[in-house]
Structure 1
Amino acid sequence: MTRAKGYHSQLALGYEAAYGTTPADVKGYNMPFNQSKIGIKQNLIESSTIRGRRDKEQPAIGNIDVSGSITLPVDQIGIGYWLAAMFGSPATTGSGDPYTHVFKVTDGQPSLVLEQQYPDIATYETFNGCKINKFSFTYGGDTELTAQMELLGAQRTVNTTPFTANLTEVPLVKYNNFQGSLEEGGAPLAIVTEANLQVDFGLDGNSYAIGSGGCRTALPEGTLQVSGNIKAFFEDAVLLNKAINNTKTSLNFKFTNGTHSLGFFMEEVVLQQTSPGIEDEKGIIINLPFKAFYSSGAGGSILVATLVNSYAIS
């Protein structure tokens, strides 16, 4: 008996013109991924109806919750399509290698059609009205460099054919932890052992309405929040004093491979006060949580993501 196999499965992405609807002429992309756990939940609601016997009546069904997570490699090309899903189309310069794509916060986010494809058994799980609600990654150490996304969506259908017959293959060119760097206040910070970034897009997932068939009618955007943590060797009190004095600084998380790079620049950041503590006889590490904000930064965005690669995102 044929069974669906993980290595033969695919994750397809397309952009919707109207929320919750697959366009007739949608362009689909075969995205690199490590795990895709998009799913559907629909509660069965216990019946309290009394009919003169002990047996329970048939339960009612609740609203549909399409949600889940995707783990993806931090790479040079595929990440551009996910950034476009978070921030909209980038401002792109260059007519060939290298292209420079700049993403900034806008008032809206595109909605996506995402499909978990199981070609072994000709089954295609299509999710419409998807938006990225959270994005995060951690770098440093000696592990595979990945990012995590949490998504919300409107509805799921299960089909015997894919939402588009021809998928554009997205090349995979990964970044590695050793290609990462961190700048603080415009200068390289060489004492950091680990750093993480968390972006919360603040989507309103409680947009159910009468007559919508139990599906989310929209995913309105809320205030975008950017935070994270820096883990560093405790060599001096420079960063600690900036936290103590609530001194505004900047942070730039960056990955570089030759002429290509991926950067997440936060122009206005404050560090949170902490204490390093003394755990044992070894070197002391200090954790410095941070929050980014936008007040008067020249970039005009709480976060500016810049992707320099060999690929025209279309």
Structure 2
Amino acid sequence: MARAQGARAQLALAFETTYGTAPASGYVKMPFATASLGAEQPLLASELLGYGRDPVEPIKDALTADGNVVVPLDAEAYGYWLKGAFGAPTTTEGTGDFEHVFTSGSWNLPSFSVEVGMPEVPSFAMYSGCMVDSFSWSMARSGLLTSTVEIVAQGEDLATSSQAGTPSTLALKRFGHFNGSVKRDGVDIGNIISAELNYQNNLDRVETIRADGKIEGADASIAAMTGSIGVRFADTTLLNQAIGGNSCALTFGYELPTGETLTVSVPRVFLPRPRREISGPQGVQVTFDWQAAQQSDGSPMVTVTLENAVETY
């Protein structure tokens, strides 16, 4: 008897025309490192008396389908997760590539279906009505660069064969920490040690009463763009901004030698006044946990630009 192994697992994604209805075709094979996306339904222990010391059978509680997928930050496949988080991009054709611009602020986010397959069992779980609740990643000097995508799904349907057909494949062009940069008001930030980005849609589950136990949908609430930057304390530029309550523009970018780029622009960022601890003889580091806001004229809080060879998302 075959046993499931993560090395043979498959993940395919397709955007839906109707929320909660898995498409019959159009799936794309997605690279991933780990996946906790799944459905669970706990049991409620019986409270009834009069049947002796041994309890009667439990009953099923509400069904919950959600989880996260850890994916590489790459030049092609990551655009599908960005579309789930922000909506369809504005795409323009350049010289030999395409520029996809994703912006925050949309009230209507697309839903998609994800099939997680373990062919050796065989077991194929189709999660329909998926929506991106948040995505995040950390920037550092070394290590593997991955992003965690939190997903809220409507439900799970199990099958012994794939319902995704033959998914199309994308070229894996992965960004690394070596390709990254962080800028403040267009100028590289000196002495930066680390950075974190976290975008949240703050989805509100519509938990109506249904015979199938699934949710009715997930509505986008007030979004949030937050993160942190860790720096060696060498000047007071960031500290003075925090004390003064002023904003700045932060830009997080990656560029591959082959020309693919990913740029996250946050035009209006506010910094808190941080604690400056001296923990020993080594260098003093300061962490600023920043928060973003919409621009003064109501323009988007965050813009993500992805340049690659993909014609459309």
Category of TM-score, reference length = shorter chain: over 0.9
Kept in 2: contact 1:96–1:310 (CA 8 A): no
5+ residue gaps, structure 1: none
Alignment correspondent of 2:289: 289
Q: Which moved more, 1:254-263 or 1:70-79?
A: 254-263
Aligned residue number for residue 158 of structure 1: 158
Letter in 2 for 1:145: L
Alignment of 1:179-194 (within 5 A): 179-194=179-194
> Which region of structure 1 is more displaced relative to structure 2, 244-253 or 258-267?
258-267
User: Match of 1:42, as an amino acid?
Assistant: Q
Paired residue for 2:112?
Answer: 112
Shift of 1:256: 1.0
Change beyond 3 A, Cα 1:212–1:306: farther
Q: Residue type matched to 2:256 in 1? A: N
- Which residue does 1:53 correspond to in 2? 52
- TM score, norm. by length of structure 2: 0.95
1:97 CA drift (Å): 2.4
The alignment status of 1:4 with 2:1, answered yes or no, reads: no
Q: Is the 8 A contact 1:199 1:225 kept in 2?
A: yes
Task: Please give the secondary structure, in 2, of the residue aligned with 1:169.
Answer: coil
Q: Secondary structure at the match of 1:63?
A: coil
Alpha carbons of structure 1 residues 308 and 169: separation in structure 2 relative to 1, 3 Å: same
Pair 1:247–1:150, CA change in 2 (3 A): same
Counterpart Cα distance in 1 of 2:56 and 2:224: 45
Please identify, of 175-184 and 93-102, the stretch whose mean Cα deviation from structure 2 is larger: 93-102
Distance 1:210 1:7 in 2: 39
Question: TM-score, normalization: structure 1?
Answer: 0.95
Residues 1:230 and 2:233 are matched in the alignment: no
Answer whether contact 1:125 1:156 (CA < 8 A) is retained. Answer: yes
Q: Distance in 2 between matches of 1:199 and 1:160?
A: 36
2:138–2:195 Cα contact (<8 Å) kept: yes
Q: Distance in 1 between matches of 2:111 and 2:47?
A: 38
In the alignment, is residue 103 of structure 1 matched against residue 90 of structure 2? no
8 A Cα contact 2:23 2:113, kept in partner:
no
**SS of the residue aligned with 2:75?**
coil
Whole-Å separation in 2 of the counterparts to 1:71 and 1:22: 22
Q: Please name the residue that 1:75 is paired with.
A: 74
Cross-structure match for 1:265:
265
Larger mean Cα displacement after TM superposition, 37-46 or 70-79: 37-46
Q: By how many angstroms is 1:313 displaced?
A: 3.0
Q: Distance in 2 between matches of 1:253 and 1:70?
A: 22
Aligned twin of 1:29: 28
Shift of 1:23: 2.7
- Does residue 1:276 correspond to 2:276, yes or no? yes
CA distance in 2, matches of 1:175, 1:221: 29
| Cα separation, 2, equivalents of 1:285 and 1:66 | 40
Partner of 2:137: 137
The answer to whether the Cα contact below 8 Å between 2:31 and 2:77 also exists between their aligned partners in 1 is: yes
Residues 268 and 297 in structure 1, CA contact (< 8 A), matched pair in contact too:
no
| Percent of residue pairs bearing the same amino acid type | 27
Residues 157-205 of structure 1 show CA distances to partners (whole Å, capped at 9, x for unaligned) of: 1101212212011221111101100110121113211100011111013
Q: What stretches of structure 2 of length at least 5 have no aligned partner?
A: none
Task: Give the letter for the 2:253 counterpart.
Answer: K
Whole-Å Cα distance in 2 between the matches of residues 252 and 212 of structure 1? 47
Q: Following TM superposition, by how much is the alpha carbon of 1:96 offset from its aligned partner in structure 2, in angstroms?
A: 5.8
User: Matched residue of 1:84: which SS?
Assistant: helix
Equivalent-residue separation in structure 2 for 1:146 and 1:33 (angstroms): 9
Name the CA distance, whole Å, in 2 between partners of 1:282 and 1:168.
Answer: 51
- Flag the 1:96–1:29 CA change in 2: closer, same or farther, 3 A: farther
2-side partners of 1:204 and 1:182: how far apart?
A: 32
| Conserved 8 A contact 2:85-2:134 | no
Deviations 1:57-107 (CA, angstroms, capped at 9, x unpaired): 211111111011110111111111110111111100016622100001211
In structure 2, distance between residues paired with 1:251 and 1:15? 31
Q: CA deviation at 1:282?
A: 1.3
- Give, as a single letter, the amino acid of the residue that structure 2 aligns with 1:154: Q
Q: Distance in 2 between matches of 1:16 and 1:134?
A: 19
Name the residue aligned to 1:172.
172
- CA distance in structure 1 between the partners assigned to 2:156 and 2:133 by the alignment: 18
2:242 paired residue number:
243
Aligned positions, number: 311
